[in-house]
Amino acid sequence: MQASEDGQIAVSARGGVMTLLIDRPAKKNALTDALYGELSDALEDTEQDAAIRAVVILGAGDAFCAGNDISDFLTMTSRQGSEGQSEAQVFRFLRLLGSFSKPLLAGVQGRAVGIGTTMLLHCDHVVLAEDAQLSTPFVSLGLVPEAASSLLLPKLIGHARAFAMLAMGAVMGAGEAREAGLANAVVAGDSLEDAVMQAAQRIAALPPGAVQQTKALMRDSETIAKVMEAEIEIFAQRLKSGEAREAFTAFLEKRPPDFSAF
């Protein structure tokens, strides 16, 4: 099936496992406001559905997720923060990720950029394909980290490696990501979905109350929420900066950015 360029989140459920497939392969599964809305709706529905014991996030095509749609970012640079204006769905999705009570899993192939990587920090089980490449080039876009990654990534991999990723845009390959504790396993690309679904089925067969309480004990959701709010405030300001506008315009014009005027 050929997805439209706008894409969709294809939601399916089987055996207590909900799968959310980011299905916008022509744009490397870059997430638009509408797709964040669909992801958020699905997560909210799942919280209410006792039959769903685990949620798996997948991406269609050769990339897991190229991060936030940069055309959407550009639109956000010119939005005025007027009262009554509906909040960007990306912030709704981030908050839901940080507070989600059920086990989250991801199967990642190819590029995982920006939120494509930072959402993995909120997953409880991550399987990578051998060609997975994780990166968080926030600074080169004139932005700052989000999804509490300014807290979670240094905690996991140490300040120096986290700075290389969050500030300098270093790309981490699958093997290093598993060694660093960002993922459970690296598998051949054609086994990715099976591997992550098997893990999800194992989790779905466990006593759900004990699983959710264990997750809650392991994650300091209060601190995560505080860090996310602090990041969101600065991120929203950065979105309106000249630096960010130049970075987004350069990407869309397929040219290198020029920050010499700043």
Q: Which stretch binds ligand COA (CB under 6 A): 14-22, 62-70, 192-200, 215-223?
A: 62-70
Q: Which residue in 141, 157, 182, 192 binds ligand COA (CB under 6 A)?
A: 141
Structure tokens at 121: 């920090």
Minimum distance of ligand COA from residue 114's CB (angstroms): 3
Of residues 93 and 138, the one with the C-beta less far from ligand COA: 138
Minimum distance of ligand COA from residue 62's CB (angstroms): 7
Minimum distance of ligand COA from residue 18's CB (angstroms): 25
Q: Which residue in 7, 67, 98, 145 binds ligand COA (CB under 6 A)?
A: 67
Coil vs helix vs strand at 136: coil
Q: Which stretch binds ligand COA (CB under 6 A): 27-35, 49-57, 178-186, 188-196?
A: 27-35
Query: Which residue pairs, CB below 8 angstroms and at least 24 apart, start in 189-193?
Result: 189/109, 189/129, 189/130, 189/131, 192/107, 192/108, 192/109, 192/127, 192/128, 192/129, 193/58, 193/107
Please, are residues 242 and 61 in contact by the beta-carbon 8 Å criterion?
Answer: no
Q: Which of residues 80-119 bind ligand COA (CB under 6 A)?
A: 111, 113-114
Please, are residues 73 and 248 in contact by the beta-carbon 8 Å criterion?
Answer: yes
238 binds ligand COA (CB under 6 A): no
Coil vs helix vs strand at 183: coil
CA–CA separation, 95 vs 147, rounded Å?
A: 8
Largest CA distance in the chain: 58
Helix (H) or strand (E) holding 22: strand 17-23
68 binds ligand COA (CB under 6 A): yes
Q: Which residue in 22, 28, 60, 197 binds ligand COA (CB under 6 A)?
A: 28
Of residues 16 and 61, the one with the C-beta less far from ligand COA: 61
24 binds ligand COA (CB under 6 A): no
CA–CA separation, 215 vs 190, rounded Å?
A: 29
Q: Which residues bind ligand COA (CB under 6 A)?
A: 27-28, 30, 63, 66-71, 111, 113-114, 137-138, 141
